Amino acid sequence: MISCDISQRVQILARLREGKKVSQLSALRDFGCMRLAAIIYRLRGQGYDIHTETRTQGDKRYAVYTIQSAVSERKKNRTPNKGKGKRHGERKPRSVRRRKTKNISNKKNG
């Protein structure tokens, strides 16, 4: 499932870089993407300046996304935030996790 997500992210980014607009319906139809907003959120976190245009059709509202620039200057020179914070559901590798040890003293009461 992770590889599908990465593939969809790359395909959506390529579509945006072509200057085309992406909506939830077009993402579902063209890429099989059910969570476009989550992919847009991740791309913004990587520094892409993505603009959201809210459209209304009848009583329905939906978002259409376009890219403004490849990577914003603020994020371009930033170092990755490695090891700080966790995403929901992620765990540290076993080698990094602390092991709970019992503190047993071998002292004899005298």
Question: pLDDT per residue over 3-25, tens digit each?
Answer: 455 689 999 999 999 999 999 99
Domain residue ranges of the chain, discontinuous segments joined by +: 2-71
Domain 2-71 part of CATH 1.10.10.10: yes
Per the structure block, which two tokens stand in for 92?
Answer: 């540290």
What Rg do the C-alpha atoms of the chain give, in angstroms? 22
pLDDT for residue 7: 86
Instruction: Name the pTM for this structure.
Output: 0.59
How far is the CA of 77 from the CAs of 9, 12, 51, 72, in angstroms? 22, 24, 21, 9
